[in-house]
Amino acid sequence: MNQKRGRLIVLLLFMTVYQQLINAQNGTQNRPNIIVILADDLGYGDVGFTGCKDIKTPQIDNLAHNGVVCTNAYVTHPYCGPSRAGLLTGRHQARFGMEINPTNSPFDLHMGLPLEEKTFGERLKEVGYTTAIIGKWHMGGAPPYHPNNRGFDHFYGFLSGGHSYFPSGINAISPLVNKNGLPNYCANEGDYKPLWRNNGAGEFKEYLTRALSRDAAAFIKSADKPFLLYLAYNAPHQPLQAPKETIQKYSHIENKYRRTYAAMIDEMDQGIGMVVEALKTAGKYDNTIIFFLSDNGGDRSIKPWQPVHYTSNFPYRKGKGSFFEGGIHVPFFVHWPSGIKKPIEFDGLVSSLDISATAYAVAGVDTVGRQLDGVDLVPFMQREKKGSPHNAIFWRENEGKAWAVRTVDNKYLLTSQKEKPQLFDMKKDPYESENIVESKPKKRAQIAALWNKWNEGNKPVIWLQSGDYQKRRLQLYKELHQEMIDKASKRKPLIIE
C-alpha cells in the first residue's frame, strides 16, 4: 500500500514539474491577466477622474490616477449593441453590418453577433486563458450565441439588453414607478427573468451590481492560470434603481433621478473595489491589465416619466445616440502596475477597438490575417511610440444616414438626413461649438475621402432594429395564429361508426 502511495506521489510531482516546464516554455506564467470593465450609459462627466464633484468614485479614480488616462478615447457607436459588438470582436461592427441592438430572441438562430466573427474570449481561450463574462451580454439569446458558445468558460449575468436591479423585479424606491406600482421602463422581455449561470439559472438574492461584483471577485480568486474577465455592468443604465441606504448618501443632490443614478454609480465603484481587493488577495494585482470605459455616453433623452436630465456628459455636447462628443467620447483608462511604471494622461486618439488588439499583443495571440481595426496601445502607454495610435476614427449608423470622422485635428459629421454636415476644429474647439464647414472646403473633401475609403470595406445591415423586430415578430405570431384558425374552420368533425 505504501509502495503504491509512493508511486502516486512521484507521478503527481512529475506532472506538476512537467506542467511548470510547459508553462515556462509557453510563457503562460508571465502573461498578464486582462480585465475589461464596461459601464453602461455612464456620462463622461459622472466619475471623479473626469471632473465629477457630486458623485464619489474613489475606487475608479484610484485606478485611473495610477494608470494611463486616455483623454481622447472613443467607442464605435453611441448606443449599446453596436458598441459592444465592436468591443468584443476588435472589428468595427460596420465590417459585418451590425448597426442595431440585437433582440434577446431565444428561438431565432440568426439574431446575434455573427458566428463567423470571433470574440476576444475565443481568441484568448485559444492561447490558454481562462475566460469569463459577468453581466450584460446583449449579443443574441439563441443557443449558438450564448456566451459559453462564444469563447467564455464562465458566464453569470443576463442575455438581454437590460435587467431589474432587484430580485423582486419591482423596486418601490425607484423614481421610475407609475401609479400602479409597475416600472415605466422595460428594455425588453429579459428585464425580469432570472439570471444565467452558464447554461442554467443563476441565483440573484441581492442588488444586482453587488451580485455581479461578488461573482467577479470569486472568479479572480479561483483562476489558476492567466484569465480574461469581461465585467459588463448594466449600471448605471435604466431602470434607475438603487439600495435605499446608498441613495441616502446623495441627499445633497436635488434632482431625485440623478440622486438614484449617483447611487448606482457608487455601487458600481464599490463593486470595482471588490474586484481590486480580490486581485490583491490572490497576488494578481500587479500583473493584471484593467481597462475601464463606458459603452456610450450618458442618456440625455427626456421621457414622460423622467422629465429632466440626470446624467452629465460635461463638457461635451449631447449624449447617448448622438455622434456629437457626448455620445461617443467616453471615460477611459488602462491600469497595469507591472507594465505601466509611470501614470500619464494620453491625448492620442484611442478606440474601444484597441482593447482587443492590446490584449492579443500581451497574450501572444497571432493576429496575422485577422483584419482587426484596433491598435496595440502598450508601446504608447510605455512611451516607446509617440503620436496618436489612430490618424482617424470612423462612425456610421444605418449604413450612413448618420456618420462621423474624427481626425487628430478635426471632426466632420452628419447627425441625420434632415441636417447638413458640420466640421469642427478639435484642437481649438473640442466642444464642437463653431461649425467651420463653409470656410474649409478642402479639409471637408479630405476627410470625406477618408470616410469613403474606410466605408468601402463595410457591409449592409441585414437585421431589424430591436423595436421593429419585436413588432414584426408579434405580427408573425398573429398571422400564424390566424392561419391555424382558418385551417381549423375548414375541417369537418370526425364521425365514427
Catalytically annotated residues = 80, 138
The bridge status of strand 73-74 relative to strand 350-351 is parallel
Contact 409, 425 (CB under 8 A): yes
d(CA 130, CA 226): 6
Please give the DSSP secondary-structure letter assigned to residue 194. Answer: P
d(CA 41, CA 100): 16
Which residues are CB-neighbours of 224 under 8 A, at least 6 positions away? 130
Give φ, ψ of 329 to 5 degrees. Answer: -90, 115
Q: E-assigned strands of 98-140?
A: 130-136
Cell numbers at 204, concatenated: 440573484
R_g (Cα) of the chain, nearest Å: 24
Which residues are CB-neighbours of 45 under 8 A, at least 6 positions away? 51, 52, 298, 312, 313, 314, 315, 316
Cα 46 versus chain centre, distance:
17
d(CA 372, CA 359): 12
Please give the DSSP secondary-structure letter assigned to residue 52. Answer: -
The one-letter amino acid at 285? Y
Cα end-to-end span (Å), the chain: 78
Which residues are CB-neighbours of 369 under 8 A, at least 6 positions away? none
3-class DSSP assignment, residue 392:
strand
Q: 25-45 b/e with 16+ CB inside 10 Å = b?
A: eeebeebbbbbbbbbbbbbbb
Whether residue 32 has a cis bond before it, omega within 30° of 0: no
Cα separation values, 234 from 87, 137, 209, 371, Å: 16, 10, 8, 30
Give φ, ψ of 62 to 5 degrees. Answer: -65, -40
Cell numbers at 19, concatenated: 506542467
d(CA 373, CA 367): 11
Cα dihedral 246/251/257/260 (nearest 10):
0
Cell numbers at 177, concatenated: 414607478
Tell me how many degrees the CA angle 374-379-381 measures, rounded to the nearest 5: 95
